[in-house]
Amino acid sequence: MGEDWCGRSGLAGQRRHAPATDVGFEVAPRGHYIFYFLQFVIAETSAKLQSANSKLEEKEKQTADHESERQTLQNDILKLREDYNQLNQEKDKHLREADELRKSLDAMMQEKQRLERTKASLTENTNTLEADLNQAVAIKQELMDKKESLLSELREARRDTERNARETERCKKCISSLEERLATCKEELAGANESLRLFHMEVESSRAEREELMKAAEKSAHDLMEAQAEINRTEELISKRSELVGQLKALEAELSGLLEDRHNLEKDRDGFRREVIRLQSEKNDLQGERTALKRALEMSEKTREATETELSQLSKANLGLTEQASFCSTLTL
C-alpha cells in the first residue's frame, strides 16, 4: 500500500506538472481517489486499532492472570517460607532432642560402666566373702572336731574324775582305816613304850619277855612305817586329785570358751549368711537394673535411629523446599 501510495503520489506529481490544459480534466478523478484512499486508510486504521485494542485487552487479561499467578506464587512462597521456618524449628527441636538423647545415652553409658564397675567390685567382694565364709566353715569344722576331741577328753576326764573320786573315797576309807590303825598303833606304841619302859625296868627280870617286847616294838614300828607310807600314797592321790580337779576346771573353762567361740562363729555365720543373701539380692537388683538399662539403651538406640531417619527425611524435605523456594524466587524475578 505504501508503494501504491508512492506511485499514486508520483502520478499526482506528474499530473501537477502537466500542462495547464489538463487541469480541469484531472481534478475530479484525483478527488475521488483521495476520498477512496482516505476511506481505505481509515478502515485499515480502524482495523489496526481494533486489533491493537484486542491485543491490549488480551495483554491486560494476561497481565491480570500473571498478577493473580504472581500473587498466588507469592502466597505459596510465603506459605513455603512459613513451612520452611516451621520445619527449621522442628529440625532444631529434633536436633536438640537428639542432643538430649545423645547426652542421656552418654549418661546411661557412664551409669552402665559405673554399675559394671560396682558389679565387678560386688562380685569381688562376694568372692572374698565366699572365701571368708569357706574359711570360717573350715575353722568351724576344725573347732567342731576340736570340740568333739575336747568333749571326748572331757568325758574321759570325767570318767577319770569319777574313778579318782572312787579312788579318793577308797583312799579316804583307807586313810580312816589307817588312822584307826595308826591310833591303834600309837596306842600299841604307847603301850610298847610303856612296855619298853617296864621292860627296861624289868629287863633284868626276864630276857625272854624282853625279846618278846622287842619283837612287838619292831612289829609296831613296821606297822607304823607301813601306815606312814599309806598316808604318803594317800597324800599323793589327794594331790593328783587336786591336779585332776584343776585340769577338769581348765577343761570346763576351755569348753566354755569353745562354746562361746561356737556361739560367736554361729553369729558370724548368720551374719555372713545374711550378708551373702543381701549381696545376692543386690546382685539380682543389679541384674534387673542392667536388664532395664539394656532395654532403655535398646529403646534409645531405636529412638536415635528413628530420629536420624526423621532428620534425614526432614533434610530431604528441607532440600526440596529450598529448591522450590529458589524456583519460585526465579519465577518472581
Give the CA count within 13 Å in the CB-facing half-sphere of 311.
15
The reported pLDDT for the residue numbered 78 is 84
| Residue 246: partners with Cβ closer than 8 Å, 6 or more residues away | none
Of 151-160, 188-197, 235-244, least confident by mean pLDDT is: 188-197
Contact indicator for 276, 133 with CB cutoff of 8 Å: yes
| Residue 5: partners with Cβ closer than 8 Å, 6 or more residues away | 37
Report the alpha-carbon angle 219-185-220, nearest 5: 10
Mean pLDDT of 158-186: 65
Of 1-15, 19-33, 73-87, 123-137, least confident by mean pLDDT is: 1-15
Q: How far apart are CA 120 and CA 297, in angstroms?
A: 21
Output 53 or 209, whichever has higher pLDDT: 53
Segment 23-56, tens digit of pLDDT: 444 444 566 777 777 788 888 888 888 888 888 8
Task: Return phi, psi of residue 204, to 5°.
Answer: -90, -10
Please report, for the chain, the start and end positions of each structural domain, with discontinuous segments joined by +: 2-332
CATH number listed for the domain at residues 2-332: 1.10.287
pLDDT at 12 over 60: no
The reported pLDDT for the residue numbered 145 is 76
CA 190, 194, 195, 196 torsion: positive or negative? positive
| Residue 92: partners with Cβ closer than 8 Å, 6 or more residues away | none
End-to-end CA distance of the chain: 43
Segment 59-97, tens digit of pLDDT: 788 878 878 877 887 787 788 788 778 877 877 887 787
